[in-house]
Amino acid sequence: MTAARLAAAARVRRERLLGLAEGVAAGGAETEVVATTASAPAAGRQGWDRVTGRDEEGALARALAAAGRPEGVPELAEAALAWEEAERGACLGAVAAMRAGAG
């Protein structure tokens, strides 16, 4: 199972994934959640944000953008969401083509 698939499950089928994970944890599995947080002042405001995993630069960049609200952030965020959607569509298309070829 790849991290990308599990991340997709966490975004799209969260309740189902949590239910499956609870069964694993109940069986005595050790669990850990890793998140990186950052807080930074900018433009007279305090910004705070977090990212999943170990990514100090990413967390700091998000905190600074939250505090400073620089021009271009909304456009950057929209472009990132559009890219993720396009990637998701491409992956779904590839899976559909694979299934059609296997059937």
DSSP 30-60: -----EEEEEEEETTEEEEEEEESS-HHHHH
List beta partners, residue 38.
Answer: 49
Q: What are phi and psi of 41, to 5 degrees?
A: -85, 145
Stretch 37-47: mean pLDDT? 92
Stretch 25-41: mean pLDDT? 82
Please tell me the pTM assigned to this model: 0.52
In order of 19, 79, 95, the CA distances from 70 in angstroms are: 40, 16, 39
- The pLDDT, as a whole number, for residue 1 is 57
